[in-house]
């Protein structure tokens, strides 16, 4: 099992400033300077755990490159690209669109490297140089819409990679699973009318963007039925996620018969994340990955590529991320997660009736996948 792995120090230099979590520091409002929730630390620590655990020796190292204008414009509008370029040319940088997604001077180059990194990882999988791959990239991408950067995202990294391998390798049917705790609104919007790209988002109900990712968001025109949303209630843990996977994700992918499976892999559904209220631990991320590997083996010669998104607990995200990469690489003696008994031992993480009633609403939609 050859697993590609992509990381670059420049991803740690994407500068989101001292936004004190989300808002610019302002003493008049009592907001003290601190680092933005989306900062280098958590992703750099995940990379370092991949190295220190020795799992890095089981991986095939891939190198990022900058996405070209053509590759970015396959998804984004010229106005969006121009806005990012203009901000990047400013002495203090700019913002990707929503005022919550700052970047430093020259920041577009790191954004291009993130998008290009996912293109390289996906291309390596499609060309068979590796069986599967993980792109530990930053800034994230799944909230970025064609004409607007949102939710810390500059470019829609995963969507850009999907369109790139369609163009260069004729990949037709692409299934995208977004298990980041926030709705994959950007990816969904890019492929809203496209029956050849199945987008499935498992997320906490209306956490971000507000009022986005509801069950009735199903696609439009030819794309109707090829967007699936499972807005899980706050507090959902292992039971709810595995039930949503087994009752919605797996049958949807089986009906769709993809040539490639992509994952918007955020870890902010972890039980100790500051930006959500779910209860996942590393074992569930490992199990979700194993399920995807089995589906990919059955339908698309194992072709599976993952694009890093959110996840904001610098202590716990590394263990969740390592579990995914160990599963991709077929590691049989995984590193013990010392926090599993604590975070996984809390009450109520088994499947709950109010979670089942959400999943029940989505199951009938599978009939519209052909």
Ligand X SMILES: Cc1nn(C)c(C)c1/N=N/c1ccc(/C=C/C(=O)NO)cc1
| Residues near ligand X, by CB under 6 A | 22, 100, 140, 143, 151-152, 180, 182, 208, 210, 266, 268, 275, 309-310
Query: By C-beta, is 120 or 268 nearer to Zn ion?
Result: 268
Among candidate residues 208, 233, 264, the one with its CA nearest the CA of residue 349: 233
Among candidate residues 206, 205, 207, 241, the one with its CA nearest the CA of residue 344: 241
Query: By C-beta, is 208 or 316 nearer to ligand X?
Result: 208
Q: Find the catalytic residue in 36, 80, 143, 308.
A: 143
Instruction: State the residues that interact with Zn ion by CB under 5 A.
Output: 180, 182, 266, 268, 310
Query: By C-beta, is 205 or 254 nearer to ligand X?
Result: 205
Query: By C-beta, is 171 or 263 nearer to ligand X?
Result: 263
The one of ligand X, Zn ion, none whose footprint includes residue 210, by CB under 5 to 8 A per kind, is ligand X
Task: Provide the minimum distance between the beta carbon of 65 and Zn ion in the complex, in angstroms, as a whole number.
Answer: 25
In DSSP terms, 24 is beta-bridged to none
Query: By C-beta, is 217 or 268 nearer to ligand X?
Result: 268
The one of ligand X, Zn ion, none whose footprint includes residue 22, by CB under 5 to 8 A per kind, is ligand X
SS (H, E, C) the chain: CCEEEECCHHHHHCCCCCEEECCCCEHHHCECCEEECCCHHHHHHHHHHHHHCCHHHHEEEECCCCCCHHHHHCCCCHHHHHHHHHHHCCCCCEECECCCCEECCCHHHHHHHHHHHHHHHHHHHHCCCCCEEEECCCCCCCCCECCEECCCCCCCHHHHHHHHHHHHHCCCCEEEEECCCCCCHHHHHHCCCCCCEEEEEEEECCCCCCCCCCCCCCCCHHHCCCEEEEEECCCCCHHHHHHHHHHHHHHHHHHHCCCEEEEEECCCCECCCCCCCCCECHHHHHHHHHHHHHHHHHHCCCCEEEEECCCCCCCCHHHHHHHHHHHHHCCCCCCCCCCHHHHCCCCCCCCCHHHHHHHHHHHHHHHHCC
Task: Provide the minimum distance between the beta carbon of 275 and ligand X in the complex, in angstroms, as a whole number.
Answer: 5
Task: Provide the minimum distance between the beta carbon of 224 and ligand X in the complex, in angstroms, as a whole number.
Answer: 26
Length of the chain, please? Answer: 370
Query: By C-beta, is 117 or 140 nearer to ligand X?
Result: 140
Please confirm, yes or no, whether 354 is among the known catalytic residues.
Answer: no
Residue nearest ligand X, CB atom distance: 310
The one of Zn ion, ligand X, none whose footprint includes residue 44, by CB under 5 to 8 A per kind, is none
Task: Provide the minimum distance between the beta carbon of 362 and ligand X in the complex, in angstroms, as a whole number.
Answer: 21
C-alpha distances out from residue 260 to 171, 184, 238, Å? 8, 18, 26
The one of Zn ion, ligand X, none whose footprint includes residue 100, by CB under 5 to 8 A per kind, is ligand X
Task: Provide the minimum distance between the beta carbon of 244 and ligand X in the complex, in angstroms, as a whole number.
Answer: 18
The one of ligand X, Zn ion, none whose footprint includes residue 126, by CB under 5 to 8 A per kind, is none
Query: By C-beta, is 143 or 286 nearer to ligand X?
Result: 143
Task: Provide the minimum distance between the beta carbon of 292 and ligand X in the complex, in angstroms, as a whole number.
Answer: 19
Task: Provide the minimum distance between the beta carbon of 187 and Zn ion in the complex, in angstroms, as a whole number.
Answer: 12
Q: Using CA of residue 149, residue 138, residue 185, residue 121, what is the dihedral sign?
A: positive
Cβ-based neighbours of 114, under 8 Å, separated by 6 or more = 11, 14, 64, 137, 138, 139, 140, 141, 154, 155, 157
Q: Which residues are catalytic?
A: 143
């Amino acid at each position: 099992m050859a697993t590609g792995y992509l990381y670059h120090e420049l991803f740690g230099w994407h500068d989101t400033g001292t936004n004190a979590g989300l808002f610019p520091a302002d003493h008049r409002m009592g907001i003290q300077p601190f680092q933005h929730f989306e900062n280098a630390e958590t992703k750099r620590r995940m990379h370092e755990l991949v190295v220190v655990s020795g799992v890095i020796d089981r991986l095939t190292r891939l190198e990022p490159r900058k996405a070209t204008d053509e590759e970015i414009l396959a998804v984004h509008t010229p106005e969006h690209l121009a806005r990012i370029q203009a901000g990047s040319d400013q002495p203090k940088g700019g913002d990707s669109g929503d005022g919550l997604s700052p970047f430093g001077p020259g920041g577009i180059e790191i954004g291009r490297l993130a998008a290009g990194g996912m293109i390289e990882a996906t291309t390596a999988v499609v060309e068979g140089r590796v069986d599967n791959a993980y792109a530990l990239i930053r800034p994230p991408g799944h909230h970025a819409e064609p004409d607007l950067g949102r939710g810390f995202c500059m470019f829609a990294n995963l969507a850009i990679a999907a369109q790139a391998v369609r163009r260069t390798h004729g990949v037709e049917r692409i299934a995208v699973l977004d298990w980041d705790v926030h709705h994959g609104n950007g990816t969904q919007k890019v492929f809203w009318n496209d029956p050849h790209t199945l987008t499935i988002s498992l997320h906490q109900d209306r956490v971000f963007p507000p009022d986005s990712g509801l069950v009735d968001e199903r696609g439009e025109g030819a794309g109707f039925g090829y967007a699936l949303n499972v807005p899980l209630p706050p507090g959902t843990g292992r039971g709810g996620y595995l039930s949503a996977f087994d009752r919605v994700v797996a049958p949807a992918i089986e009906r769709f018969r993809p040539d490639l499976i992509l994952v918007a892999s955020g870890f902010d559904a972890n039980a100790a994340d500051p930006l959500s209220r779910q209860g996942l631990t590393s074992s569930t991320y490992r199990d979700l990955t194993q399920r995807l590997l089995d589906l990919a083996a059955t339908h698309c010669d194992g072709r599976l590529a993952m694009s890093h998104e959110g996840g904001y607990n610098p202590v716990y995200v590394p263990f969740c991320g390592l579990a995914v990469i160990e599963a991709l690489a077929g590691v049989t003696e995984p590193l013990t997660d010392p926090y599993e008994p604590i975070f996984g031992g809390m009450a109520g993480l088994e499947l709950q009736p109010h979670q089942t009633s959400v999943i029940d609403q989505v199951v009938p939609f599978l009939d519209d996948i052909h």
